Structure 1
Amino acid sequence: MSFKMTKAERSWVMYDVGNSALVLLATSVIPIYFKSLADGPALVAWSYAETVASLVIALLMPILGSVADQQGMKKKFIIGSVGTGAVACVAMGFPTSAMAFLVIYVISSVALNTSFVFYDALLVDATTDDRMDEVSSQGYAWGYIGSCVPFLACLAFVLVRPFGMSLQTAMQISFVITAAWWVAFTVPMLKNVEQTHYKPREEHALVNAVRGIGATAKRIWRDPSIRNYIIAYFFYIDGVHTIIKLSTSYGADLGIDGTQLVLALLVTQFVAFPSAIAYGRLGHKFGTRKMILVGIAGYTFITLFAAFFLRTAVEFWILAIMVGLFQGGLQALSRSEFGKLCPKDHANEYFGFFDIFGKYAAILGTFIVGTMTAATGNSSLGVLSIVVLFIIGFVVMLRVPERTAATEG
């Protein structure tokens, strides 16, 4: 059965196409480039940098999300975060020291993940509850396939390095291409999606948002559906994003050739495209919650495979294909299910808490992997340690009460 999107839905989906270019670069080429700047193993430093970025996002999101819920504010915050992120993306091409590069990378990561909160919350304005699963899945699907266009252009410079250019010059061009792509595909959403759910404008919005964090947290905690859902999401999505963020560094530490790592992750994008769309339709047919549980179980197996069997390039390709089968679908249905649960006029406020554990942020998992790897000197044990995140997420998700709409207040 075909699924025809409205103009607003298509424009909302296009932002996923734009931001996914930087996401793909950050999970493939950038860690390898960082390893060329760093002295010694890169996984520990990269893990801690990701943790710092995630903690900054966790502190900002509930506050900014509450302010963005006011009339006309969502798109203004999107412009600010995308603008900051694009500038930081271009700036990453200039440092020659590992520490300076990490600082700019953290800024770009914070801006990118911040934009996701406002973008995710705009889903409730772009479509309706009964279409959220499929629209959210379309976003991830087209994001995966669309991001391959600028990524392949970047690879042409990074791998071939025409005209005898250095790796740094190739990366500078790649960062410019990625930033331009991100900005270009943000424009349709800004033009065609209107914020229809909002709170009235108020004075001292930022101060009131800070004061209101506690009240929002209490409302979430008193609602068993949202409370249990967020707790489950915290654990399993942190594991998902840890794998996304650290897989390339892990493969590099195992001695797998960088070109093989990048090409395998490119295959993930192509596998994830039809898988995400299929996941959205399966969620509509069998139930969103059931398909989320299937995805968590799939990632548990993926983590065990990575820890016990991943040693060669062939096995990394197998891992990349398995990730592609579950990644987009699990993320898409998690986003749409929360969009159905949260009060629409407080969407940013609620998504601020939701995205603390975020679309691409990883707090606990990266810290666990970095600490376990540093303590044991074995990155495989570091990866194995995140299995517990998926087990906890699965168990708590089973305890989420069934419901289709949130009780406001």
Structure 2
Amino acid sequence: MSERATAPTTAPAATSAPVASAASAASAENLPEPNAKLTTREKKWIVYDVGNSAFVMLSTAVVPIYANSLLQSAGQSNIVSTWGYAQTIASLIIAVMMPVLGSMADVQGMKVKFFTGFFLTGVVACCAMALPLSWLIFLVVCILATVGLNGSLTFYDSMLVDITSNERMDRVSSHGFAWGYIGSTIPFIACIALIFGGPSLFGWSTVACTRASFVITALWWVAFTIPLLTSYKQVHYRATAGQTGEAIRGTFAELGSTFRAIRKNKPLWMFMIAFFFYIDAVNTVISMSTSYGTQLGIDSTHLVMALLITQFVAFPSAIAYGKLAGRFGAKTMITTAVIAYICIVLFAAFFLRSATEFWILAILVGLFQGGIQALSRSYYGKIIPKNRANEYYGFYDIFGKTASIIGTFLVATTTSLTGNASVGVLSIAILLIVALIFLLLQKDPTRK
């Protein structure tokens, strides 16, 4: 069955902007059978997850600890609130920018240009974090690096519809997250070894070794981005390169029509609302876990090693999730992960007090984190028009990043008001319950 035959029948409303059909290009790709081995193009797309995940891992485990040391040197103490507000600002910037840029990127050949711009921003900022900066300037650079990362991921996610078919999306997306998890451990272990062993081996200070880890991560990120940049071809687009000017001028009209099309597509908007709430919890747990553990007084060595275990657990779990989605459906597996995350949040709020509980939390997160992220990306790609993928993924990013704004802001504010980080963590459960309700009410358009 062809990709077009399985695409959703709901199309966006017509607009004045030119629309180019890439159906012939798609059919010419000779896409393999659903269970065939991964193609070269799919593999080269997957390895970008290996590259950028190294920075995600460093940002989760090392950067908050380093930022906390800068804060303490300046007489500040509440890393949960400070780091939460920094992540909120980065998410807000992405949420505002992505729909407009996403619409522009649906022009032939533009997607890879926007991807490259954000990728380079992230890499340069990652290197800049190695400079001797004050805590405030360091957080500003962190925000820029996070914007570069998440901006590139919006365009990267939308590339999924160009490199594979509907039938293979769950599998390819899951492999991306899986290999990202396991691949990121290589530079991370090198960085941790440098941070802990560098002072005795090279005579460097721990601070210098930590700064060097930022440069190592940036180089790894670059190395695993090159295969994608040299092989990617945009198959689906709404306007040709010759119609770029007209398409850009019609961007805001296109955004309006896309929003109206989403509003008329009940299964799509119900999923997006559910996604808004549950991805909030996932992103907040990822971005706040280390700062939460730090505030509880858990030793940094235990925090780092526990998060490393998360990566190894997430590798087989993400691949298994992709296979289970082929049997039970992506939506069913997403719903299962949401229920699991409710249990995870309750555990973190009521039982996490020592390093042992943090290790348990890390393992539990690893079981479901990659699966819910991967299947959300692929499930969304199945139910949107392919020739407007980047624009639709721009709205996807609004929901994902706005949710991150609410999640981190909620945890930071609740912690500041109550003086109790556990109360802030507990508030995430409310968002997950709302997401679960919408998932249960939504009719899955991919299941006939």
Global fold match (TM > 0.5): yes
Look up the match of 1:253: 295
For residues 144 and 206 of structure 2, what CA distance do their matches in structure 1 show?
22
Cα deviation code 1:114-156 (max 9, x no counterpart): 0011000000001000000000000000000000111111111
Counterpart contact for 2:278–2:431, Cα < 8 Å: yes
Look up the match of 1:331: 373
Counterpart contact for 1:113–1:361, Cα < 8 Å: no
Look up the match of 1:7: 40
- Please state whether the residue corresponding to 1:319 is helix, strand or coil: helix
For residues 35 and 113 of structure 2, what CA distance do their matches in structure 1 show?
34
Look up the match of 2:180: 143
For residues 204 and 159 of structure 1, what CA distance do their matches in structure 2 show?
55
Describe the shift of the 1:359–1:278 C-alpha distance in structure 2 as closer, same or farther (beyond 3 A): farther
Counterpart contact for 1:295–1:330, Cα < 8 Å: yes
Cα deviation code 1:373-399 (max 9, x no counterpart): 000000000100110111011111112
For residues 362 and 167 of structure 1, what CA distance do their matches in structure 2 show?
32
Deviating more after overlay: 40-49 vs 196-205: 196-205
Look up the match of 2:106: 69
Residues 37-76 of structure 1 correspond to what in structure 2 (within 5 A)? 37-38=70-71, 39-76=76-113
- Please state whether the residue corresponding to 2:285 is helix, strand or coil: helix
Sequence identity (%): 54
Describe the shift of the 1:85–1:204 C-alpha distance in structure 2 as closer, same or farther (beyond 3 A): farther
Counterpart contact for 1:113–1:358, Cα < 8 Å: no
1:206 deviation in Å? 4.2
1:207 deviation in Å? 4.2
TM-score (structure 1 length as normaliser): 0.96
- Please state whether the residue corresponding to 1:194 is helix, strand or coil: coil
1:209 deviation in Å? 2.0
Residues 142-221 of structure 1 correspond to what in structure 2 (within 5 A)? 142-162=179-199, 163-200=202-239, 201-203=243-245, 205-221=247-263
1:306 to 344, 348, 357: 348
Amino acid of the structure 1 residue aligned with 2:70: L
Amino acid of the structure 2 residue aligned with 1:84: T
Aligned pair count?
405
Please provide the CA RMSD for this pair.
1.6
TM-score (structure 2 length as normaliser): 0.88
- Please state whether the residue corresponding to 2:250 is helix, strand or coil: helix
Counterpart contact for 1:113–1:360, Cα < 8 Å: no
For residues 92 and 253 of structure 2, what CA distance do their matches in structure 1 show?
20
For residues 168 and 209 of structure 1, what CA distance do their matches in structure 2 show?
46
Which stretches in structure 2 are left out of the alignment for 5+ residues?
Answer: 1-33
Deviating more after overlay: 201-210 vs 9-18: 201-210
- Please state whether the residue corresponding to 1:70 is helix, strand or coil: coil
Amino acid of the structure 2 residue aligned with 1:61: M
- Please state whether the residue corresponding to 2:400 is helix, strand or coil: coil
- Please state whether the residue corresponding to 1:164 is helix, strand or coil: coil
For residues 147 and 402 of structure 1, what CA distance do their matches in structure 2 show?
33
1:213 deviation in Å? 2.3
Look up the match of 1:262: 304
Counterpart contact for 1:93–1:168, Cα < 8 Å: no
Look up the match of 2:434: 392
Look up the match of 1:240: 282
Describe the shift of the 1:349–1:23 C-alpha distance in structure 2 as closer, same or farther (beyond 3 A): same
2:162 to 104, 125, 131: 125
Cα deviation code 1:62-94 (max 9, x no counterpart): 011101111011111111111111000000111
**Do residues 105 (structure 1) and 142 (structure 2) align?**
yes
Residues 80-99 of structure 1 correspond to what in structure 2 (within 5 A)? 80-99=117-136
- Structure 1 ranges of 4+ moved more than 4 A: 204-207
Amino acid of the structure 1 residue aligned with 2:143: V
Cα deviation code 1:189-239 (max 9, x no counterpart): 122221100121331544432343222211111111111111000000011
2:65 to 32, 50, 63: 32
For residues 298 and 402 of structure 2, what CA distance do their matches in structure 1 show?
24
Amino acid of the structure 2 residue aligned with 1:402: D
Which stretches in structure 1 are left out of the alignment for 5+ residues?
Answer: none
Deviating more after overlay: 214-223 vs 118-127: 214-223
- Please state whether the residue corresponding to 2:244 is helix, strand or coil: coil
For residues 191 and 165 of structure 1, what CA distance do their matches in structure 2 show?
38
Counterpart contact for 2:65–2:294, Cα < 8 Å: yes
Deviating more after overlay: 196-205 vs 304-313: 196-205
- Please state whether the residue corresponding to 1:107 is helix, strand or coil: helix
Look up the match of 1:285: 327
Counterpart contact for 1:229–1:400, Cα < 8 Å: yes
For residues 307 and 407 of structure 2, what CA distance do their matches in structure 1 show?
20
Deviating more after overlay: 3-12 vs 291-300: 3-12
Deviating more after overlay: 6-15 vs 196-205: 196-205
Counterpart contact for 2:94–2:401, Cα < 8 Å: no
Cα deviation code 1:298-354 (max 9, x no counterpart): 100000000000000011000000000000001111110000001000000000110
For residues 362 and 437 of structure 2, what CA distance do their matches in structure 1 show?
26
Describe the shift of the 1:232–1:173 C-alpha distance in structure 2 as closer, same or farther (beyond 3 A): same
1:2 deviation in Å? 7.4
